[in-house]
A and B are shown apart, each in its own frame.
Chain A
Amino acid sequence: AQSVTQLDSHVSVSEGTPVLLRCNYSSSYSPSLFWYVQHPNKGLQLLLKYTSAATLVKGINGFEAEFKKSETSFHLTKPSAHMSDAAEYFCVVSGDTGNQFYFGTGTSLTVIP
């Protein structure tokens, strides 16, 4: 069975400081992993994805994530937070077939000016 755990429900950082959003997953096979972002009253947008290629994945807006199989983790990072990064972030693991995906409960990122 697949599951995703986002270790922090809320993260607060100052503008210009690094961002770390933590995600652990559980899967009975080699999954694809994703990070999505949801701004208020908007749909979800893909930030980046890992699909068994390079373990360090670069996404949009300066975000990147590293797939660590030994730790079953897929943490999202960004060197310097911007005010526009304030949003809800979801870590997602693929199901074994088709378009069934499993979402974490989300991490709300606040950026303090």
Chain B
Amino acid sequence: KAGVTQTPRYLIKTRGQQVTLSCSPISGHRSVSWYQQTPGQGLQFLFEYFSETQRNKGNFPGRFSGRQFSNSRSEMNVSTLELGDSALYLCASSRDRKNTGELFFGEGSRLTVL
């Protein structure tokens, strides 16, 4: 079956702009999580959505937001981009919210902010 699909794979923005990233989870998976990966900070949890509701949120400013649709697809938005937002943004899906479960990751969206 198809894996987790993230679009776009690469994008370049300038400071002050906003960006929207999309994630389509594996069919049947209802939980979608987002992570930011940078060389200095590693992978940091952004937020988790399940049944169209945000269930957990990491320690990021309000410029980072997300949503989940009824088909479980998710989007995340970053407004007023800063240079430090340059990163690989990874989406992960899982069937449910059991913390013993496996996360299935997409290949990521690489954002460069100039």
Contacts and interface: CB of A to CB of B under 8 A. Distances in A.
B56 A99 contact: yes
A100 B45 contact: yes
Contact of A43 (B31, B58, B108): B108
B67 interface: no
Nearest to A4: B42
A94 B100 contact: yes
Nearest to A95: B99
B102 A98 contact: no
Contacts of B55: 98-99
Interface centre among A44, A95, A96, A97, by most chain B C-beta atoms within 10 angstroms, is A44
Contacts of A96: 99
A45 B42 contact: no
A interface, by DSSP: helix, strand, loop or mixed?
A: loop
A51 B103 CA distance: 14
B107 A41 contact: yes
Given A41-B107, A46-B102, A100 B56 contact: yes
Interface residues of B, number: 27
B106 A98 contact: no
A31 B100 CA distance: 9
Contacts of B108: 43
Contacts of B44: 103
Given A99-B94, A100-B99, A43 B42 contact: no
B97 interface: yes
A49 interface: yes
Interface string B28-46: 0001010100000011110
Given A43-B107, A44-B90, A106-B42, A101 B102 contact: no
